[in-house]
């Protein structure tokens, strides 16, 4: 059996995964707050933990892995967006708007993550479906002296949990000095956090021993993970931005509610996403949702491939150059697979997804087992694509399936057709024109007329034709910025 070693954020070292129950490996990942489209940063943990989910299923068996990723559908941000909709003219009551908004956003999320090749988790609980479990957990924390009620709120007493801060590596006093925390008169300590808060008559609210109200954000994940995975499970994951305070608070309340359990054994955190070397920001004009990129013509496979090129514990930089390179590589690989599998078409290729003959390459499985080393796995895929041996072709197909680069959403015919850009643009006369220019470039290079060769290449690139020189000759494709008028003007 493949050994899996993962970097545990809590211990700050790589550890062997030793499941509490090898017949039910359990993982919880914090999901989105559903009030808007998922942006590129939201998508990274989805892709990272989808790779881990696929690896766990491969090693332990698809029926032996339970993966939970929640939807936060009760939150102040959701309430604020619903009020904005009312202010814009929506005449429905707030709760009706909120339900419609969260339903629609979950639908968007599923469509966008499906496009990235992400498998659906075993369970996708909505926070509003587990309010009784949250109330019960809060009651237990109050009874045990770890929480207290004050002015309609219930707050967790951070000082009652001596290990608070071990995940993020800071003392409580350091956190108070460096963090922006809500200072309210009903708090005993500035770091105490809300487990339950009062709701107005129009806001989402539920009956509780402390009056009509709604849960705080942190208690939601603790209650849902306990209900669906038990008091102790194997892996808890999310973006590094959740390490504090969300995950720190989850640990505190869960370990105090179930003192002997230990909560999650291994904590994984993926780093943040940048765009063209800068932090994503609407003010900088480099803020993209996944849907923005899909609508621009980038297939989900390209977005996923760009993400996998960077190790999950390093910041990932989305650039146009990387996306174009991923486009060229994937087209090359799909062409390679089609050349070896003559019936590898969009109509019948899903049959390959579960075929025993297409086991992933052992070196790729080993790379993923070493803390999800996807860059090393991709390097191995490059080598497999250069091998003519048929069993290597099978391994390559199996490996791409394991990495999620081929899935039910993949349009094999589009991604592997020479001369077709991701936008689906195709014209036989344009293809002839490009091929003619590339042949003229090759002829100029043979005659050592490098100025002429460079002029042709530069003109093609400016027209939006991507060119990659390979041992088998130039490979080309059309970018989403392809301009046929500029191509026609070339001589």
The DSSP annotation for 207-238 comes to --TT-SEEE-HHHHHHHHHHHHH-SEEEEEEE
Q: Per-residue confidence at 300, pLDDT binned at 50, 70, 90? A: very high
Q: DSSP of 342-401, one letter per residue?
A: TT--TTTGGGGGG-TT-PPPHHHHHHHHBT--HHHHHHHHHHHHT---HHHHHHHHHHHH
More confident residue, 476 or 456: 456
With tokens 């989305």, the residue in question is 318
The proportion of the chain whose per-residue pLDDT surpasses 70, expressed as a percent, equals 89
The proportion of the chain whose per-residue pLDDT surpasses 90, expressed as a percent, equals 65
The interaxial angle of helices 390-402 and 362-369, nearest 10 deg, is: 30
With H, G, I as helix, E, B as strand and everything else as coil, classify residue 308.
helix
Q: Reply yes or no on whether the pLDDT at 189 is more than 60.
A: yes
With tokens 């499985």, the residue in question is 365
Q: Reply yes or no on whether the pLDDT at 348 is more than 60.
A: no
Q: What pLDDT does residue 375 have?
A: 97
In angstroms, rounded to a whole number, what is the distance separating the alpha carbons of residues 194 and 114? 34
Q: What pLDDT does residue 85 have?
A: 97
Which range is least confidently modeled, 174-183, 372-381, 449-458? 174-183
Q: Reply yes or no on whether the pLDDT at 370 is more than 80.
A: yes
More confident residue, 439 or 160: 160
In angstroms, rounded to a whole number, what is the distance separating the alpha carbons of residues 67 and 27? 5
In angstroms, rounded to a whole number, what is the distance separating the alpha carbons of residues 75 and 221? 13
Q: What pLDDT does residue 338 have?
A: 72
Q: What pLDDT does residue 64 have?
A: 97
Q: Per-residue confidence at 358, pLDDT binned at 50, 70, 90? A: confident
In angstroms, rounded to a whole number, what is the distance separating the alpha carbons of residues 450 and 291? 42
Average pLDDT value for residue range 244-273:
96
Q: What pLDDT does residue 210 have?
A: 97
For residue 180, how far is the Cα from the chain centroid? 27
Average pLDDT value for residue range 254-268:
95
Q: Reply yes or no on whether the pLDDT at 139 is more than 70.
A: yes
pLDDT, tens digit (0-9, with 9 covering 90-100), for 401-446: 999 998 877 766 555 544 333 333 345 577 778 878 888 898 888 8
Average confidence score pLDDT of the chain:
89
Dmax (CA) for the chain in angstroms is 87
Q: Reply yes or no on whether the pLDDT at 126 is more than 90.
A: yes
On whether the CB atoms of residues 214 and 205 are closer than 8 A, the answer is yes
With H, G, I as helix, E, B as strand and everything else as coil, classify residue 491.
coil
Q: What pLDDT does residue 335 have?
A: 76
Q: Reply yes or no on whether the pLDDT at 252 is more than 50.
A: yes
| Cross-strand partners of 7 | 14
On whether the CB atoms of residues 108 and 290 are closer than 8 A, the answer is no
Burial 119-137 (b: 16+ CB within 10 A, else e): bebbeebbbbebbebbbeb
Entry pTM: 0.84
In angstroms, rounded to a whole number, what is the distance separating the alpha carbons of residues 451 and 455? 6
Average pLDDT value for residue range 244-269:
96
- Choose among 24, 10, 5: nearest CA to 263: 10
Q: What pLDDT does residue 332 have?
A: 82
H-helix or E-strand spanning residue 15: strand 13-16
Q: What pLDDT does residue 366 have?
A: 98
Average pLDDT value for residue range 84-110:
97
Which range is least confidently modeled, 118-132, 142-156, 325-339, 464-478? 464-478
Which range is least confidently modeled, 113-117, 354-358, 369-373, 425-429? 425-429
In angstroms, rounded to a whole number, what is the distance separating the alpha carbons of residues 160 and 354? 51
- Cα–Cα distances in Å, from 79 out to 205, 246, 300, 474? 12, 20, 31, 55
Q: What pLDDT does residue 19 have?
A: 98
**Would strands 25-29 and 13-16 be described as parallel, antiparallel, or unpaired?**
unpaired
| Cross-strand partners of 213 | 198, 206
Which range is least confidently modeled, 161-165, 251-255, 341-345, 372-376? 341-345
In angstroms, rounded to a whole number, what is the distance separating the alpha carbons of residues 273 and 41? 5
Q: Reply yes or no on whether the pLDDT at 349 is more than 90.
A: no
Q: Per-residue confidence at 63, pLDDT binned at 50, 70, 90? A: very high
Q: What pLDDT does residue 466 have?
A: 80
């Amino acid at each position: 059996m493949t050994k899996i070693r993962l970097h545990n954020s809590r211990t700050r070292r790589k550890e062997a995964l030793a499941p509490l129950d090898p017949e039910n490996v359990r993982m919880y990942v914090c999901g989105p707050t559903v009030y808007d489209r998922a942006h590129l940063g939201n998508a990274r943990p989805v892709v990272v933990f989808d790779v881990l989910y696929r690896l766990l299923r491969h090693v332990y068996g698809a029926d032996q892995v339970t993966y939970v990723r929640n939807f936060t559908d009760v939150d102040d941000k959701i309430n604020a967006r619903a009020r904005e909709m009312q202010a814009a003219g929506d005449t429905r009551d707030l709760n009706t708007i909120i339900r419609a908004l969260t339903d629609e956003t979950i639908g968007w999320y599923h469509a966008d993550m499906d496009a990235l090749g992400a498998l659906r988790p075993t369970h996708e609980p909505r926070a509003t479906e587990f309010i009784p479990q949250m109330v019960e957990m809060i009651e237990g924390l109050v009874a045990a002296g770890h929480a207290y009620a004050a002015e309609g709120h219930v707050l967790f007493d951070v000082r009652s949990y001596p290990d608070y801060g071990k995940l993020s590596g800071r003392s409580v006093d350091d956190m108070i000095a460096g963090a922006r925390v809500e200072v309210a008169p009903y708090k005993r300590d500035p770091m105490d956090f809300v487990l339950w808060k009062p709701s107005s008559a129009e806001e989402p609210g539920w009956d509780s021993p402390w009056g009509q109200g709604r849960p705080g954000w942190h208690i939601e994940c603790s209650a849902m993970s306990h209900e669906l995975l038990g008091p102790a499970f194997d892996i808890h994951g999310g973006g590094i931005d959740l390490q504090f305070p969300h995950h720190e608070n989850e640990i505190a309340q869960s370990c105090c509610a179930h003192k002997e359990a230990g909560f999650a054994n291994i904590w994984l955190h993926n780093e943040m996403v940048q765009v063209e070397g800068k932090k994503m920001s609407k003010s900088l004009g480099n803020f993209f949702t996944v849907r923005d990129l899909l609508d621009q013509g980038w297939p989900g496979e390209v977005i996923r491939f760009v993400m996998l090129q960077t190790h999950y514990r390093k910041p990932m930089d989305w650039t146009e150059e990387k996306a174009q390179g991923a486009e060229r590589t994937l087209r090359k690989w799909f062409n390679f697979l089609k050349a070896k599998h003559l019936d590898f078409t969009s109509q019948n290729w899903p049959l390959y997804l579960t075929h025993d003959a297409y086991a992933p390459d052992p070196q790729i499985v080993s790379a993923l087992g070493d803390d999800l080393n996807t860059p090393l796995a991709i390097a191995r895929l490059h080598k497999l694509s250069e091998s003519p041996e048929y069993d290597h072709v099978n391994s390559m197909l199996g490996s791409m399936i394991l990495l999620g680069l081929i899935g039910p959403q993949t349009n094999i015919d589009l991604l592997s057709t020479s001369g077709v850009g991701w936008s689906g643009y195709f014209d036989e006369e344009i293809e002839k024109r490009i091929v003619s220019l590339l042949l003229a470039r090759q002829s100029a290079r043979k005659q050592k007329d490098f100025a002429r060769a460079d002029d042709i290449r530069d003109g093609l690139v400016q027209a939006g034709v991507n060119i990659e020189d390979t041992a088998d000759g130039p490979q080309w494709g059309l970018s989403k910025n392809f301009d046929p008028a500029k191509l026609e003007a070339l001589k």
